[in-house]
Every structure is written in structure tokens, then in C-alpha cells.
């Protein structure tokens, strides 16, 4: 069996293979509630054979959403629609994860396909759940002063920081009630926790700013607090922007140090992405972020997830075989081919067992067409 399609265990969770659907914002919720769009969008990846399906960045507090269309887990009523999705993912053999997030100064931004003409009347705004609020951040500085979509945030005080930590804890408890197998702490892509980590966004002079140790403090406090309430037999993940991809910003060396500290606090794997600040620039090419996954895995001795234009099956297998990462995560690649995992099994192992029983007639079609090796 190929490594890509082989089972893997983190704590008490065994995934049927090492393929992951990365969190992808759909901007299709109202008041944070999952709906039929999310059910179908996520359910199709379980049918397609993925090992772990991650729900999009989910606001731990209402003001932590990227937009008014984001999912949320800040109140109990939001549990049931997510539990319905989890149950379906489980019924098809996939594990279910959810990314817990706070957007910080990148919150309260527009939904791109809802322009002024779609929000002209109160009825139109109500139909899409339109809201607008002032974001919060480590420092009162806009994500991008040249972009009017980003506001100047309010700098978090001690009470505000406590609210963020409590929000992550409460959301993790709700995720457990919904039946999720894992949660991922989102500390990447220029959102709140990445803002605290980066010297480009964090200009505080208290215990949460200045030195790298201080800038890591909030992420580590959240990891400790979530791990304390998350079941011991369930893995805890963290997503990092391993590099800000910007001069003077957060670096891979910083991420290795942070990953070691997260591992010591019970984080089981690091989802390795990059960028997210307005100053960051990197050329996107196939597998361009794999070196970040390798650096964190080798430097911190923790399993890593590679992500970023990884749709080539043979290349994904090589990444795992060479030990550069332990999981392969797809986002847009999964949108393009929700059956990527079952197609990978056909290519690598000539195996059709990942297909749902209702769809295994594909094997007969492939035999007739001579698709199989």
C-alpha cells in the first residue's frame, strides 16, 4: 500500500489515510450557523475518500469572524447543525475536524460576491445576515492602511485577551459536543494569533509583546487551555504561518521554537502554511510550502501537514515517502476534484475500496475503458 493511502494514528484517532481537506471559508453562514451548503460541501469529501475533513475557520466569538458569512461556535445553538455534518462524515469513514479561529484585525471584512447593489436594502442585508463591527488586535494598526476593507482595530486589553482565551475554550467544548475528532487552533494567515506572533503586527509593550517569548504567550496559553478541556484521546492540531514571507517578520526558525513549545503543551501535529500579512510576498508554485513542513518536522520533532498546490498524486506520495511531511492537505485541489483520494488510490494502489459501495461501479467502467494499469 502507498504511504499516502496508509492509515495513521494520532493519540486515539486512526485516520484511514493521510489525505486531508484543509479548512476553506465558504462565507455562506448566517449568524454563524452551518446550513445545507456546508453539509453538501463537506460531505462530498468524505464520499471522495479523504481521511480527515476539516471545517472552515470557525469564529470562537462573534467578533472573531473574518466576515458576517463565517461559521461560528460561540453559542450552543450552533452545535446541532455541525453535529449533523460530523455524523455524515463519520458514516462515510472520514474523520471530522474543525478549525477554531479569531480573525483579529482582519475581521468584519466584506463577502466578495455581496457588493453594494446586493446590500442596498434592509431586506437584502437581512437575507445574507449582514453585520459590521470594529475588530480587535494586539495593536491598533490596520492590516493594510491602503485597503478600505480593513479597519483600524481596537487594541486588546487584559479583559479582551481573557475573552479570546475563554472563547477558544468554550468553542472546543462545543466542538466536543458536536462529535469532532480533532480541533485545530488557527495561528496562521495574518489572523489574530499570527498577529500576536509577528513583530510586524504586534507592537505591544506588555507581557504579550516585544520578545519572541512574549509574542508567543497568547498562542501557548490558548493551546494549554484548549488541551486541558479537549479529551486526552483526541489529537489537537495547530496551523502556523511558518513564515510571514516578509523582511523583519516571523521566520521558520521562530516556528520551530514555537512548535517545540506547542508539542510540550500537548499539540500533536502542525499544519504548515505561510503568509497572511500585507507585507508578505511569496511565489505560489506546486508544493511551494513543503519546505516549511519539513523544517518544522525536523526542527521540532512533531508530525506536520503539508499544504499548498499539492494535487499531483505521485508528488504527494514522494513527499510522504521522503519524510518531508506526514499528511497531505488539499484546499482548492479538493474543490477541483472532491474524489482526489479515491482517484489517488486507483493510481497508486489499483484499489477501489475507498469508493462508497453505492459508487463502486466506477471500477467496472475503468476496466472497460482500460484505465487500470
Handedness of CA 246, 248, 253, 254 (dihedral sign): negative
Based on the residue annotation, tell me whether 191 is a catalytic residue of this protein.
Answer: yes
CB 25 within 8 A of CB 103: no
DSSP, collapsed to helix, strand or coil, labels residue 38 as helix
For residues 222-249, b (16+ Cβ closer than 10 Å) or e, as one string? bbbbbbeebeeebbbbbbbbbbbbbeeb
**Domain boundaries, given as residue ranges, for the chain:** 8-369
Contacts of 81 (CB under 8 A, 6+ apart): 33, 34, 35, 38, 39
Burial class from Cβ neighbours inside 10 Å (0-12, 13-18, 19+) for residue 349 reads: middle
User: Which secondary-structure segment (H or E) carries 269?
Assistant: strand 269-273
Secondary structure (H, E, C), 278-320: CCCCCCCCCCCCHHHHHHHHHHHCCCEEEECCCCCHHHHHHHH
The pLDDT tens digits along the chain (373 residues) read 999 999 999 999 999 999 999 999 999 999 999 999 999 999 999 999 999 999 999 999 999 999 999 999 999 999 999 999 999 999 999 999 999 999 999 999 999 999 999 999 999 999 999 999 999 999 999 999 999 999 999 999 999 999 999 999 999 999 999 999 999 999 999 999 999 999 999 999 999 999 999 999 999 999 999 999 999 999 999 999 999 999 999 999 999 999 999 999 999 999 999 999 999 999 999 999 999 999 999 999 999 999 999 999 999 999 999 999 999 999 999 999 999 999 999 999 999 999 999 998 999 999 899 887 5
Point out the catalytic residue in the list 27, 130, 150, 191.
191
Handedness of CA 234, 53, 271, 16 (dihedral sign): positive
Pairing, β 8-10 against β 13-15? antiparallel
Which CATH superfamily is 8-369 part of? Aldolase class I (3.20.20.70)
DSSP, collapsed to helix, strand or coil, labels residue 338 as coil
φ/ψ of residue 115, rounded to 5: -80, 180
User: Which secondary-structure segment (H or E) carries 220?
Assistant: helix 212-229
DSSP, collapsed to helix, strand or coil, labels residue 108 as coil
| CA 252 to centroid of chain Cα atoms | 19
For residues 310-339, b (16+ Cβ closer than 10 Å) or e, as one string? bbebeebbebbeeebbbbbbbbebbeeebb
Residues in the chain: 373
Report pTM. 0.97
DSSP, collapsed to helix, strand or coil, labels residue 39 as helix
Amino acid at each position: 500500500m502507498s504511504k499516502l493511502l496508509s492509515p495513521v494514528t494520532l493519540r486515539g484517532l486512526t485516520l484511514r489515510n493521510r489525505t486531508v481537506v484543509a479548512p476553506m471559508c465558504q462565507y455562506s453562514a448566517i449568524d454563524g450557523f452551518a446550513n445545507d451548503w456546508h453539509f453538501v460541501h463537506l460531505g462530498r469529501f468524505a464520499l471522495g475518500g479523504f481521511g480527515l475533513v476539516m471545517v472552515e475557520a470557525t469564529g470562537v466569538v462573534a467578533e472573531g469572524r473574518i466576515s458576517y458569512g463565517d461559521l461560528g461556535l460561540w453559542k450552543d445553538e450552533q452545535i446541532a447543525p455541525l453535529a449533523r455534518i460530523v455524523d455524515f462524515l463519520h458514516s462515510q469513514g472520514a474523520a471530522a475536524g474543525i478549525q477554531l479561529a479569531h480573525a483579529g484585525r482582519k475581521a468584519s471584512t466584506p463577502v466578495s460576491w455581496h457588493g453594494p447593489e446586493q446590500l442596498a436594502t434592509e431586506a437584502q442585508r437581512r437575507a445574507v445576515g449582514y453585520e459590521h463591527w470594529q475588530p480587535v488586535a494586539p495593536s491598533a494598526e490596520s492590516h493594510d492602511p491602503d485597503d478600505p476593507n480593513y479597519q483600524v482595530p481596537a487594541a486588546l486589553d487584559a479583559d479582551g485577551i481573557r475573552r479570546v482565551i475563554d472563547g477558544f475554550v468554550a468553542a472546543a467544548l462545543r466542538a466536543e459536543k458536536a462529535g469532532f475528532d480533532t480541533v485545530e487552533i488557527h495561528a496562521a494567515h495574518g489572523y489574530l494569533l499570527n498577529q500576536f506572533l509577528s513583530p510586524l503586527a504586534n507592537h505591544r509593550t506588555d507581557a504579550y509583546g516585544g520578545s519572541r517569548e512574549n509574542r508567543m504567550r497568547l498562542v501557548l496559553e490558548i493551546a494549554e487551555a484548549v488541551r486541558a478541556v479537549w479529551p486526552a484521546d483526541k489529537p489537537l492540531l495547530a496551523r502556523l504561518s511558518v513564515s510571514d514571507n516578509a523582511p523583519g517578520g516571523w521566520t521558520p526558525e521562530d516556528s520551530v521554537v514555537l512548535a517545540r513549545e506547542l508539542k510540550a503543551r500537548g499539540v500533536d501535529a502542525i499544519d504548515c502554511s505561510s503568509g497572511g500579512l500585507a507585507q508578505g510576498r511569496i511565489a505560489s508554485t506546486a508544493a511551494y510550502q513543503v519546505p516549511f513542513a519539513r523544517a518544522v518536522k525536523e526542527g521540532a520533532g512533531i508530525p506536520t501537514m503539508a499544504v499548498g498546490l499539492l494535487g499531483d498524486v505521485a508528488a504527494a506520495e514522494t513527499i510522504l515517502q521522503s519524510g518531508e511531511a506526514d499528511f497531505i492537505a488539499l484546499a482548492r485541489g479538493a474543490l477541483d476534484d472532491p474524489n482526489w483520494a479515491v482517484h489517488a488510490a486507483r493510481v497508486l494502489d489499483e484499489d477501489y475500496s475507498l469508493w462508497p459501495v453505492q459508487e463502486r461501479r466506477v471500477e467496472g467502467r475503468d476496466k472497460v475503458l482500460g484505465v487500470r494499469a
